[in-house]
Amino acid sequence: MQILIDLRYAIPPLVNVIYFLILHQLPPPYLSSLPSIAQHNHEIPAQAPPPPPQ
């Protein structure tokens, strides 16, 4: 059960990094068609992705 709990805390930062990488590879027209992901991306610092929990 400890492994499941660890994964639960590790997955959200990975999702943030994936969204961040996808947004930087999409051309501008796709950015406007994905408002929820774009809003989510604003929570991520532009200089670096969030560090994984220790």
> What is d(CA 23, CA 34) in angstroms, rounded to the nearest whole number?
9
Q: What's the confidence (pLDDT) of residue 33?
A: 55
Q: What's the confidence (pLDDT) of residue 11?
A: 74
Q: What's the confidence (pLDDT) of residue 28?
A: 60
Spell out the domain ranges in the chain.
1-41
pLDDT digits 0-9 by tens, 1-54: 666 667 667 777 777 787 777 766 766 655 555 555 545 555 544 555 556 666
Compute the C-alpha angle 37/40/44, nearest 5°. Answer: 125
- Residues 44 and 12: beta-carbon distance below 8 Å: no
Q: What's the confidence (pLDDT) of residue 38?
A: 47
Q: 0.75 exceeded by the pTM?
A: no
